[in-house]
C-alpha cells in the first residue's frame, strides 16, 4: 500500500534547468569550454561534480581548480535562484502535494541539489513536505538508490510503500533500483522506464498511480 510520495525538485516541482544552464554556461565561457543547451540536457538530475566532469569532456584539472569551478558555478546559480518566488512552482505541483497530504500520504523531497532546501523555502513549500533529502544527505548520487532510500527511511516507510516522481533518467533508475514505484515526467525516451509516464507534473493521474 502506498503511504508516501517522494518528489525530485528540479523539473518536477519547479524548473531550474534554465538557471543551471546559465550558470554552467557562464563558467564554461570563462574557462574556454564549449557548452550548449543540448549539453545541458545531459546534466538533468546529475550531481554538481558529475556535471562538471561532463562539462570538462575529459580535460584534466587540479583538484583545487575543480573545487573552485564548482563553487563559482554555484555562486552564479544561487544569484539566479534568489529571484525565485512561490509563483515559480510548476503548474499543479503545489496542488498535488497538498491533495496527497489531505489523504494522509507523507511527502518528501528527494533532490540531488545542495540548494534544494533554499529553493523550497523560496517557493514557500516548507510546510507541505515532511522531510527534505538533498545533495547533502547521502554520498552516492542518482542513479544509486541511496537518496530515495534515505528519504523513505526519514518518512518511516519501506521502499515499496513509496512513489517517486522524477524527470531524469538517472532518477527513474534510482527509484527502480530502490524498489519504488516510479512516475516519470517528460518524454518516453528519457523516463520511459518508469511505471507511469506523464508529460508534465500537472498531468499526473492520482487515481491511476494510487489504484
**What residue 167 binds from ligand BG6, Mg ion, none (CB within 5 to 8 A, per partner kind)?**
Mg ion
Site size for Mg ion (CB under 5 A):
6
Q: Is 112 annotated as a binding residue?
A: yes
Q: Which of 10, 39, 134, 146 is catalytic?
A: 10
Report d(CA 3, CA 14) in Å as an integer.
23
Instruction: Give the closest residue to 207 by CA, choosing from 109, 101, 100.
Output: 100
| Catalytic annotation present for 203 | no
List Cβ<8 Å contacts ≥24 apart for 81-87. 81/16, 81/19, 81/115, 81/118, 81/119, 81/122, 82/122, 84/14, 84/119, 84/122, 84/123, 85/122, 85/123, 85/124, 86/122, 86/123, 86/124, 86/125
Q: Check 8, 39, 134, 146 and give the catalytic one.
A: 8
47 in a labelled binding site: yes
Q: Figure out which of the listed residues 8, 134, 146, 173 binds Mg ion, where binding follows CB under 5 A.
A: 8
Shortest distance, CB of residue 87 to ligand BG6, whole angstroms? 20
Task: Report the interface residues with ligand BG6, using CB under 6 A.
Answer: 9-10, 20, 43-48, 51, 74, 111-115, 135
Is 134 among the residues that bind Mg ion (CB under 5 A)?
Answer: no
Q: Is 34 annotated as a binding residue?
A: no
Is 68 annotated as a binding-site member? no
10 catalytically annotated = yes
* Residue 59 in marked binding region: no
Asked if 167 is part of the footprint of Mg ion (rule: CB under 5 A), the reply reads: yes
Count of positions (residues) in the chain: 211
Residue positions forming the annotated binding site for Mg(2+): 8, 10, 166-167
Q: Which residues bind Mg ion (CB under 5 A)?
A: 8, 10-11, 45, 167-168
Binding site, by residue number, is 8-10, 24, 43-48, 51, 73, 111-115, 142, 166-167
Binding residues for substrate: 8-10, 24, 43-48, 51, 73, 111-115, 142
Amino acid at each position: 500500500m502506498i503511504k508516501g510520495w517522494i518528489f525530485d525538485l528540479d523539473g518536477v516541482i519547479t524548473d531550474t534547468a534554465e538557471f543551471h544552464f546559465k550558470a554552467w554556461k557562464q563558467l564554461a565561457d570563462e574557462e574556454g569550454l564549449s557548452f550548449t543547451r543540448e549539453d545541458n540536457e545531459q546534466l538533468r538530475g546529475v550531481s554538481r561534480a558529475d556535471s562538471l566532469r561532463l562539462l570538462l569532456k575529459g580535460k584534466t584539472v587540479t583538484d583545487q581548480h575543480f573545487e573552485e569551478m564548482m563553487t563559482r558555478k554555484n555562486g552564479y546559480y544561487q544569484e539566479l535562484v534568489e529571484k525565485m518566488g512561490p509563483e515559480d512552482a510548476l503548474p499543479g505541483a503545489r496542488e498535488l502535494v497538498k491533495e496527497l497530504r489531505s489523504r494522509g500520504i507523507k511527502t518528501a523531497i528527494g533532490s540531488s541539489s545542495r540548494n534544494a532546501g533554499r529553493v523550497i523555502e523560496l517557493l514557500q513549500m516548507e510546510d507541505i513536505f515532511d522531510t527534505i533529502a538533498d545533495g547533502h544527505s547521502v554520498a552516492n548520487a542518482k542513479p544509486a538508490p541511496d537518496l530515495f532510500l534515505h528519504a523513505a527511511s526519514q518518512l518511516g516507510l519501506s521502499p515499496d510503500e513509496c512513489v517517486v516522481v522524477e524527470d531524469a533518467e538517472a532518477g527513474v533508475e534510482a527509484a527502480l533500483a530502490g524498489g519504488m514505484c516510479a512516475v516519470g515526467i517528460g518524454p518516453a525516451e528519457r523516463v520511459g522506464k518508469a511505471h507511469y509516464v506523464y508529460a508534465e507534473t500537472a498531468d499526473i493521474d492520482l487515481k491511476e498511480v494510487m489504484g
